[in-house]
Structure 1
Amino acid sequence: MRSYEVAVVGAGLAGLYAAWALKASGVDALVIEARERIGGRVFSADASGNSSEDGFDLGPSWYWPQMQPAMADLVAEFDLQSFVQHSEGEVVFERSPSQRPQRFPAMMQEPPSMRLAGGTAAAVRALARELSPDSILLRTKVKGMMLVSAGVRLTVENASGEQDIIDAGHVIAALPPRLIEATITFSPAQEGATAGRWRDTPTWMAPHAKFFAIYDRPFWRAAGLSGTAQSIAGPMAEIHDATTASGRAALFGFIGVGAEQRAAVSEETLKIACLVQLERLFGPAARSPIATLLKDWAVDPLTATSTDLVAAGHPVVRDDAWVTGGWDGRLSLAGSETSPTEPGYLSGAVTAAQRAVSQYLSKQGAR
């Protein structure tokens, strides 16, 4: 049995930020992550779909420094390089597959959307480098939590199905509340209203899918197009230039078809439909990418639950407590959805982690 001052569940942006902030305050923390990689919904991949230090963002891509100071501060703290989302050129609008797409002058976006060089995963890599390698436990699922006299006893399961016990004085669960409610057993059980709130909180990205077409050059720019498109016809509803800071050319789109409809067709069929659409919007060159990527978050069991098959909008800010009853003081929630500002966004993940760590340190100082 291992024992830590704090166990952080989830090695996404929020979990790694929490672990980094705890370490800076001299707190011994263990990060427990079910995936074989860090990042959670932050996933920057190469053309083969593997994690990359110069990848395409299969999860969140953008942040807005002027509106999201928590994320701006993180970028500055680790001296990460950022660049403006490409938007120069005309925007394409498609009403139906039978009608010729229309081109319109682009509207200047203020403030502009920003991206990180190397992909959004550059932020999680920077945080992870500040942590000891043995403080991050990958391929390990938290199956249960039990209140004990010294804090919380966690039952965990490794990739081989073997179970182990980890004790912690406090737990910071940096996961979507809905995923916590669906996958972790609590003893004593969470109060009904609390569990219901967790279950009813939409998980950002969970119902969505992103398609990427990777090319040898950004040919649409030479044609006077920004790479931005809106479509009623689909299957993609919104498309953008996904070219990296290093110049690796790509277009990406949010699939406008619902999760249950996506599940009814093969991945290859959906990819072909996306390429046909890109050809309609951007011309024949779009039909011949050097690679394609499709990330359907709705079929990722470490992100989505069955409740996430239907999009339910963006998480909303509420003033009531995320943790109540006997668990108050032993468990904190730090998933982006729990943030008091920008819930669901990258900045929300940072803010939620900051709040959880601050509350823990305040209670320790009061003891």
Structure 2
Amino acid sequence: MTNTKVAILGAGLAGLNAARLLHRAGIDFILLEAGGRPGGRILSVDAAGAPAADGFDLGPSWFWPDRQRAIAGLVRELGLESFPQNAQGYVVFERMSREAPHRLSGLRDDQQSQRLAGGSAALVDALVKALPTDRLRYGAKVVAMTLTAGGVELSVRTGDVVKETLTAEQVIVALPPRLLAATIPLDPAPYDSVLHLWNSTPTWMAPHAKVFALYDRPFWREAGFSGTAQSLVGPMAEIHDATTCSGQAALFGFVGVGAGQRAAMGEEALKAACIQQFARIFGDDAANPRATLLKDWASDSLTATPADAAPTAHAAGQAREWIAGPWQARLAFAGSETSAIEAGFLSGAVEASVEAAKLVRQRLEGMLAG
């Protein structure tokens, strides 16, 4: 049996940042990640779909430093480079299939979105480098948690076998609340009101799919387009320029059809329909990308549950009582969905992880004082 002060569930942005803060405070932790890589919903890949240091963001990509202080501060602290999302040129609007797409003058953005050089995975890489490697465990899935007199007992599975029992005085849950409710039994069971809150909280990115088309050059810019489009025709509802800071040219779109319809279409048919839409909007040059990428987060079992297949509203972003009853003194939530001010954004993951690390540190100090 392994003992630690704090067990952290999930090595996405929130879990990694919570680990960084605890490590800086000299607090022992073990970070458990069910998948084989860090990052969670942050996934930056190359043209072949493999994780890359200068990649395309299949998950979240933007942040707004003027109004999102938590993520802006972390980017500065880690010394990362950012660049503005391209907004120069026409915006296109597709209203009806029998009408030609409408060109609109680009709108001024007083709070322009930024992207990270190298992709959002630059955040993940920098945070991992700040942590002791022997405290990071990948392919380690928590399958049960039991409250004990001295803390929490966690059953950890590697592959198909429960290989370890881990005990911790505190647990930071850096997972979406709905995913926790669906995948990790707690003993004693949380109150019904708590489970209802967890299950009713939308998971950021989970219902969505992103399609990328990669090109040799950003020809749409040469033709006066920003790369931004809105469509009521589909299959993509929203399109943007995804060209990297290093100049790798790409467009991407959020697929506007639901998860069930995406599954029924199949990956190749869906990508083909999206390429047709890119060409319809931006011209024949868009019809022959050098590569295409598709990430359907609704089919990712480490992100989504069956409840996430249906489109839902964005996470609420307000102060809530995420835990009540006997677990209240042992659990702390750090996922983006639990942020009181930036739920469902990169900044929300940072803000929530800061608050969780602070709470856990206060609890541990209180135990020592007691």
Query: Which bracket does the TM-score occupy, shorter chain normalised?
Result: over 0.9
Cα deviation, 1:106-148, whole Å, max 9, x if unaligned, reads 0011100000000011011111101011111001111100011
Q: In the alignment, is residue 350 of structure 1 matched against residue 338 of structure 2?
A: no
* Local SS of the residue matching 1:30: strand
Q: 1:206 and 1:250 mapped to 2: Cα distance?
A: 23
How many Å separate the matches in 2 of 1:320 and 1:40? 24
Q: Distance in 2 between matches of 1:13 and 1:309?
A: 23
| 1:83-109 deviation per Cα after TM superposition (whole angstroms, max 9, x unaligned) | 000010111111233321111110011
Task: State the distance in 2 between where 1:243 and 1:275 align.
Answer: 16
**Corresponding residue for 1:154?**
154
CA drift of 1:338 comes to: 0.4
Shift of 1:312: 1.3
Q: CA deviation at 1:295?
A: 0.3
C-alpha deviation, 1:159, in angstroms: 2.2
User: How big is each residue's C-alpha offset from its partner over 1:180-230, in whole Å with a ceiling of 9 and x where there is no partner?
Assistant: 000000011111101110000000110000000000110101001110111
Structure 2 Cα separation of the partners of residues 311 and 363 of structure 1: 38
Q: Which residue type is aligned with residue 249 of structure 1?
A: A
* More off after superposition, 94-103 vs 164-173: 94-103
2 CA distance for matches of 1:320 and 1:224?
46
Residue 293 of structure 1: how far off its partner (Å):
0.3
Structure 1 residue 362 displacement after superposition: 1.4
Segment drifting more, 319-328 vs 159-168: 159-168
Number of corresponding residues:
367
**TM-score normalised by structure 2 residue count:** 0.98
| Aligned equivalent of 1:291 | 291
SS in 2 for 1:8: strand
In the other structure, the counterpart of 1:275 is: 275
- 1:32 alignment partner in structure 2: 32
Partner of 1:78: 78
Q: Which residue matches 2:19?
A: 19
Distance 2:203 2:319 in 1: 18
Q: Percent identity?
A: 52
**Alignment pair present for 1:58 and 2:61:** no
SS in 2 for 1:264: helix
Instruction: Tell me which residue corresponds to 1:232.
Output: 232
Contact between 2:18 and 2:353, CA under 8 Å: does it hold in 1? yes
Q: Distance in 2 between matches of 1:29 and 1:352?
A: 18
Alpha-carbon distance in 1 for matches of 2:199, 2:162: 28
Matched letter for residue 72 of structure 1: A
- 5 Å-filtered alignment, 1:95-244, equals 95-244=95-244
Q: CA separation in 2, counterparts of 1:165 and 1:360?
A: 21
CA distance in 2, matches of 1:159, 1:216: 41
Shift of 1:340: 1.0
Give the partner amino acid of 1:176. Answer: P
Residue matched to 2:326: 326
The answer on whether the counterparts of 2:155 and 2:162 sit within 8 Å (CA) in structure 1 is: no
Contact kept, 8 Å, 2:318 with 2:341, in 1: the verdict is no
- 1:260-317 Cα distance to aligned partner (Å, 9 max, x none): 1111111000000000011100001101001000000000000000100111111113
C-alpha distance in 2, partners of 1:274/1:130? 40
- In structure 1, the partner of 2:45 is 45
The answer to whether the 8 Å contact 2:153/2:165 transfers is yes
Alpha-carbon shift at residue 150 of structure 1 (Å)? 1.9
Q: What secondary structure sits across from 1:127 in the alignment?
A: helix
Unpaired segments ≥5 residues, structure 2? none
Superimposed CA distance per residue, residues 303-356 of structure 1 (whole angstroms, 9 cap, x where no aligned partner): 000100111111113433111111111111111000111101000000100111
Letter of the 1:290 partner, please give it: R
User: Hey, what's the Cα distance between the residues in 2 that align with 1:104 and 1:67?
Assistant: 27
**Whole-Å Cα distance in 1 between the matches of residues 193 and 104 of structure 2?**
49
Contact 2:332 2:356 in 1 (8 A): yes
What TM-score do you get using the length of structure 1 for normalisation? Answer: 0.98
**Cα distance, 1:364 vs structure 2:** 2.1
Runs of 4+ in 1 over 6 A off after TM superposition: none
Residue identity in the other structure for 2:61: S
Distance change >3 Å, CA 318–CA 226, structure 1 → 2: closer
